[in-house]
Amino acid sequence: MATSRVPAAVDALLAILRASPALAGVSICDGPVAVNLTDRRRLYVGWAPGSEQAVELSQEFNGAGARTRDEAFSISCYAEARAGDKDMALRRTAVFAIVASVETALRATVAAPEAPTLNGTVLWSELTTGNLTQEQTQDGALAGLAFTLSCRARI
């Protein structure tokens, strides 16, 4: 019996995002990376700057008899767009385009009817919160968007 749907859901989310044609030019990272990436467009699953957890979860019994449990969890994610110039508007537009591609990849389509359920690992998932940060660095403009993917599952 599964203790949590979190591992399967994170793996499914990564698979969906890596298969999305709209995210082909984005480096998709599983959690934090230990090296300094030079990629200009990145998407982290299970990590956001300043976040203390990769996933926050809670569980409770579904009903009398304690046969199944409902699980609610939120996956921390972070999208980033940077460039060598100082044009913040372009970076902001680019980071929101990355997150829009994530949201599109998680919508049900004829080709991917199970996308909102993370390929059947959860009952549903949706983007629920986000925080935009902007920074001018010595290497140019950077826009980051920390966002949360909220999920509901039955175990």
Tally the domains of the chain. 1
On whether residue 106 sits in a domain, the answer given is yes
CA-to-CA dists, residue 30 to 12, 62, 67, 102, 103, angstroms: 12, 31, 32, 15, 18
On whether residue 99 sits in a domain, the answer given is yes
Provide the CATH number for the domain around residue 116. Answer: 3.30.2000
Q: Which domain holds residue 94?
A: 6-31+39-154
Question: Both tokens of residue 132?
Answer: 């935009």
On whether residue 131 sits in a domain, the answer given is yes
On whether residue 115 sits in a domain, the answer given is yes
On whether residue 1 sits in a domain, the answer given is no
Q: Write the pLDDT tens digit of every residue in 71-106.
A: 999 999 999 999 889 999 999 999 999 999 999 999
CB atoms within 10 A of CB 36: 5
Q: How many CA atoms lie within 13 A of 73 on its CB side?
A: 26
On whether residue 125 sits in a domain, the answer given is yes
For residue 24, the model assigns a pLDDT of 95
pTM recorded for the entire structure: 0.91
Assign 67 a pLDDT band (cuts: 50, 70, 90): confident
What region does 146 belong to: left with phi over 0, alpha with psi -120 to 50, or beta?
beta
On whether residue 100 sits in a domain, the answer given is yes
In a 3-state reduction of DSSP, which class is residue 100? helix
